[in-house]
Amino acid sequence: MATSPSSAVLDARRALGRRLREIRRPTGLTARAFAARAGWSESKASRIENGKTSPSDPDLLTYATLCGVPELYVDLVSTLHNIEEMYVEWRRLQSDGLRQIQQAHVPLYERTRHFRVYEPGVIPGLLQTGDYAQAIMKRIVSFWDIPDDTEAAAKVRVDRQRVLREGDRRFAFLVEETALWSRFGTADVMAAQLGHLLTVGSLPQVSLGVIPMTAERTMWPLEGFWIFDKDQVIIELATAQVTVKQPSEVGTYLQMFAKLADIACYGQQARNLIAKAISSLG
């Protein structure tokens, strides 16, 4: 039901192309004539304006200069860089191991005051124990065949959890019941993780909702997503991390989160589902 984040990147590129076309039109130049004046190949402007080719910073400077709007250059470059940041392949992010990417998110966590987190298959990182985090990370290291720094990466992930108890922050977590049953590590690791979930879920600043497997679905995202205040959303795909900052797209994820929250259960009902998963471990 959710829009593919990768298509959101393409939409953003097309939107930038439309904006450049609107900047060009008052000059009276066709795309072909503009390309000729810029010293480009005949079809370059057309490809950029139709979102088929991503412009470079110098390309945007050419648009701003030849169209007589140099004051727009900084804003155009900012838009381009936001698009480039939207889709980053895991292979590139994790090439040196997992610790670096865990550390990179620390400033974002520290400045966020309202976290909204949905995870369909795992316990969210802010609620993970060190052993559970290492069990997940070892699978990532094995799959991508990257340097194994799981112990250091898990330590950074656990250290980030200080934001749960520092400052005036609010946390809303939604997990699918299947995440409680998906086993990472030994039965002891899972039992400790689910017990920790019960403990952290009782904090006054934390709202923990579990979406039962029997819930009548009104929303079914394919990927987990994290909403940081109302500023940005991070979505984790199988191959890449996608960052969304466009207000309208952030608004869509806020709506999705609200609908998911409506079908979740809380308090004693949520604790009962967690306890049931613990009992299944024997």
The answer to whether 50 and 12 are in contact (CB under 8 A) is no
Distance CA 182, CA 123 (A): 9
Q: Please indicate, yes or no, whether the overall pTM of this predicted structure exceeds 0.85.
A: no
Determine what percent of the chain is predicted with pLDDT higher than 70: 96
User: What pLDDT score does 227 carry?
Assistant: 97
Average pLDDT over every residue of 26-40: 95
- 134 neighbors 186 (Cβ within 8 angstroms): no
Sheet containing 240-244, strands listed edge to edge, beginning at the edge strand earlier in sequence: 87-89, 240-244, 232-236, 225-228, 114-119, 170-176, 206-211
> Which superfamily does CATH assign the domain made up of 5-87 to?
lambda repressor-like DNA-binding domains (1.10.260.40)
Closest CA to 106 of 163, 34, 154: 163
Least confident of 4-18, 115-129, 148-162: 4-18
In whole angstroms, give the CA distance from residue 120 to residue 35: 48
5-24 helix and 73-86 helix, angle to the nearest 10 degrees: 160
- What CA dihedral angle connects 267, 272, 277 and 279, to 10 degrees? 140
Query: Which pLDDT score, from 0 to 100, does residue 159 have?
Result: 97
Tokens at residue 151, please?
A: 């112990």
Q: What is the pLDDT at residue 8? A: 65
The letter for the amino acid at 214 is T
Q: Checking DSSP bridges between strand 225-228 and strand 232-236, what pairing results, if any? A: antiparallel
On the 0-12 / 13-18 / 19+ scale of CB atoms within 10 A, 28 is exposed
Through-space distance between the first and last CA atoms of the chain, rounded to whole angstroms: 37
Given a cut of 50, whether residue 249 has pLDDT beyond it is yes
Q: Which two tokens stand for residue 69?
A: 């709007």
- Indicate the average pLDDT of the chain: 91
Whether pLDDT at 170 is above 50: yes
Under a CB-based contact definition with an 8 Å cutoff, are residues 115 and 169 in contact?
A: yes
The more confident residue out of 53 and 87 is: 53
Kindly tell me if the per-residue pLDDT of 54 is higher than 50. yes
Torsion over CA of 97, 99, 101 and 102, rounded to 10 degrees? 150
4 secondary structure, DSSP code: P
Q: Of 112-121, 137-146, 211-220, 243-252, which range is least confident?
A: 243-252
Residues of the chain with CATH 1.10.260.40: 5-87
pLDDT of residue 13: 86
pLDDT of residue 89: 66
Burial class (CB in 10 A: 0-12, 13-18, 19+), 88: middle
Given this model, what pLDDT does residue 3 score? 46
Residue 130 confidence (pLDDT) above 70: yes
- Work out the pLDDT band at 151, boundaries 50, 70, 90: very high
